[in-house]
Amino acid sequence: MIFNYIPLKTCDFEMDSVIYHNCIIADSTNAGYPPLWENDIKNKIDKFVISKKYGLIYYRFENGEEFKRVFKHKPNRNGDEAE
């Protein structure tokens, strides 16, 4: 079975007034579930963001529930590191 391949592009993502660079954003415009899983999943992920530097930083379910990565020290616009 072959699925339509849409290459993901890196971009900036802003969350809580911080801009994360080199992120991949997957949502309904560029990703989806295979037909075999379509009916089995109760609460689908609507969007998720992976940062090259920090890994998974955000995801949101189709019911609106969302999760954000929490840093001890939030990165800022000056490029300081998060912990």
Residue 82 lies in a domain: no
Tally of domains in the chain: 1
Residue 27 lies in a domain: yes
Report the alpha-carbon distance of residue 67 to residue 69 in Å, rounded: 7
In a domain, 81, yes or no: no
Say if 41 falls within a structural domain.
yes
pLDDT in tens, the chain (83 residues): 556 666 778 999 999 888 999 999 988 777 777 777 777 778 888 899 999 999 999 999 989 999 999 887 766 665 555 54
Q: 11: how many CB neighbours lie within 10 A of its CB? A: 12
The two tokens of residue 60 are 């949101």
Q: Domain range holding 22?
A: 10-68
What pTM does this model have?
0.72
The confidence score (pLDDT) of residue 52 equals 93
Choose among 25, 10, 20, 37: nearest CA to 71. 20
Residue matched to tokens 């379910």:
61
**47, part of any domain:** yes
